[in-house]
Amino acid sequence: MKVLVFAGSTRSGSFNRKLAREVAAMTRERGAEVTHLELGDYNIPMYNADLEASGTPDDVMKLKYVFHEHPAWIVCTPEYNASYPALVKNTLDWLSSPVKSDPVWNDDFRFSRGKVVGVLSASPGALGGLRSQSHLIPLLLNLQCWVVPRTFALGHAGTAFDAQERLADDASRRRVAAVIEQTLWAASRLQSEQTATK
């Protein structure tokens, strides 16, 4: 199973980037082929239809392919003002915007349709970014993703990682593992169903 793991942050000390690194390692331990993607490695401007009219940016096209090639995604989202950050929204807005002149990418949801998505969050607060998840999940459903019902919000994230930036608490590791395992299970089942109906 190919799994795409990414955080909705580019901040150097981001708790969600730490969580994404942990998720990527734990997912590899379960035998999956993991791509740990850093959104900061891509030059994605703020979405603007006038800008898009002059040509979809190269890095947006690269990301369309990356997201499309992975049947499963796991996203770790920060919480800004009780919702997910602009980085996440802007990335998904670009990826879902059709390239009208391209016979392959003129489909809005080609990159996302049928993807199985696990959602996690981390925050210094007690809720762990739970309100961010409550806004992000409907967006993912609108993109025709299958969002797994098990999620995890890591509260008090400032003290949740050890000196090696691994999750220090066994209970947190078990809850992250549960999201990973449900994502892998659901993606495998959905892929099997799709193969059987071809």
Tens of pLDDT along 40-80?
999 999 999 999 999 999 999 999 999 999 999 999 999 99
Listed residue (74, 77, 115, 78) closest to 96, CA to CA: 115
| CATH code of residue 73 | 3.40.50.360
Would you state the structure tokens that stand for residue 49, as one six-digit string?
């239809």
Nearest alpha-carbon partner for 146 in 108, 115, 119, 178 = 115
Tell me if residue 75 falls in helix, strand or coil: strand
> What band does 198 get if pLDDT is binned at 50, 70 and 90?
low
pTM of structure: 0.95
Q: Which domain holds residue 62?
A: 2-196
Tell me the β-bridge partners of 122: 154
Number of domains in the chain: 1
pLDDT in tens, 17-49: 999 999 999 999 999 999 999 999 999 999 999
Give residue 195's pLDDT.
72
